[in-house]
Amino acid sequence: MTTHVSRRTFLTASALAAGAAVLPRASLAAAPLSGTQGPGVYRYKLGAFELTALYDGTWFLPIDGKFVTNASGAAVNEALAAAFLPPDIMPISITALLVNTGSKLVLIDTGTAGQITDTAGFLNGNLAAAGIRPADIDIVLISHFHPDHINGLRTKDGDKVFPNAQIVVPEPEWTFWMDDGNQSRATGSVFGYFRNAWRIFADIAREVHRFTPGAEIVPGIVSLPAYGHTPGHTAFSVQSGNESMLVMGDTVRNPELFARHPDWQPIFDIDGALAVTTRRRMLDRAAADRMLVGAYHFPFPACGHMIKTATGYELVPSMWRPL
Ligand SMILES: [Zn+2]
């Protein structure tokens, strides 16, 4: 008995000396670190439709005190800190939504195809992980023409990524971004967005189908004007049976900033005041009707519900669950 106790004491002392929380076992091999994230694919049902959230990555955008035109840099950093995020960087999570209506595969927005930052461009890998080939996509539906939404239509070398898809875009986006006069008046990053839209669309102009926001795209997907972020920015209502979902595009973006502070106007809203009106209208509807919402820059899987608070809105993210 004395021997047993002293052996235990000895082993415990050795383990503590080595800094180990468990006793070392020589028979176990060291486990290598993975060093990579797992697949960014999340499936859920909406009535008879099957939806797949496809993660493209996160763009860690450095921001300064001018990023929100009507709030100080200190206030923005306070909001980031309240969400346990470091200051002066806005993490722009990017998740596209694939809707299988039973007869059509509709991809809403396309990710970055690795053309914006090294930490995004994983959409096609995640599409493969979901068991879907780019050639299977019937329709690519675009919310607006910012690079993080349209660059996934082409590889870096300019090849088409979705060879069989019909490309469907809002008419007012096309009219704004493909206009030479508008481009000539643009400056800075916005000028770059014009050049980029031209790169993506110019030589496929005749294949691109344009719709007037408000129009039905396919049975169960209706477009909704959501102007402000860009002149033709469009949201979508997805409905199957008794269930519906509001796909908000960039109406809100980071919920910790722009749902909690819906009146804040970031510099990349082209018409900041109109964007605020649209944001409040859409968030009010989502909260009042207790609608499922999806949003391109919400944290993965980029869907959930909105609650109205005393000062703004709060995202309640969807819970991971079996299909
Ligand atoms: Zn965006």
Question: What integer pLDDT is reported at residue 223 of this predicted model?
Answer: 98
In a domain, 221, yes or no: yes
**What is the Å distance from ligand 1's center to 215 Cα?**
22
**What is the Å distance from ligand 1's center to 115 Cα?**
14
- Number of domains observed in the structure of the chain: 1
Higher pLDDT, residue 15 or 95: 95
In a domain, 212, yes or no: yes
In a domain, 307, yes or no: yes
**What is the Å distance from ligand 1's center to 284 Cα?**
21
Question: What integer pLDDT is reported at residue 139 of this predicted model?
Answer: 98
**What is the Å distance from ligand 1's center to 206 Cα?**
25
Which ranges constitute the DSSP H helices of 208-322?
A: 272-288
Instruction: Report percent pLDDT > 90 for the chain.
Output: 90
Question: What integer pLDDT is reported at residue 18 of this predicted model?
Answer: 53
| CB 4 within 8 Å of CB 12 | no
Domain of residue 168, CATH code: 3.60.15.10
Q: What are phi and psi of 145, to 5 degrees?
A: -100, 15
Question: What integer pLDDT is reported at residue 3 of this predicted model?
Answer: 46
Residues of the domain holding 284 = 39-317
**What is the Å distance from ligand 1's center to 232 Cα?**
13
In a domain, 28, yes or no: no
**Residue 223: beta bridge partners?**
236
Q: Is the pLDDT of residue 86 over 50?
A: yes
In a domain, 22, yes or no: no
pLDDT band at 28 (very low <50, low <70, confident <90, very high): confident
What whole-number distance in Å separates Cα of residue 196 and Cα of residue 94?
18
In a domain, 34, yes or no: no
**What is the Å distance from ligand 1's center to 116 Cα?**
12
In a domain, 109, yes or no: yes
- Residue indicated by tokens 């840099």: 73
In a domain, 78, yes or no: yes
- 45-85: pLDDT as tens digits: 999 999 999 999 999 999 999 999 999 999 999 999 999 99
pLDDT band at 29 (very low <50, low <70, confident <90, very high): confident
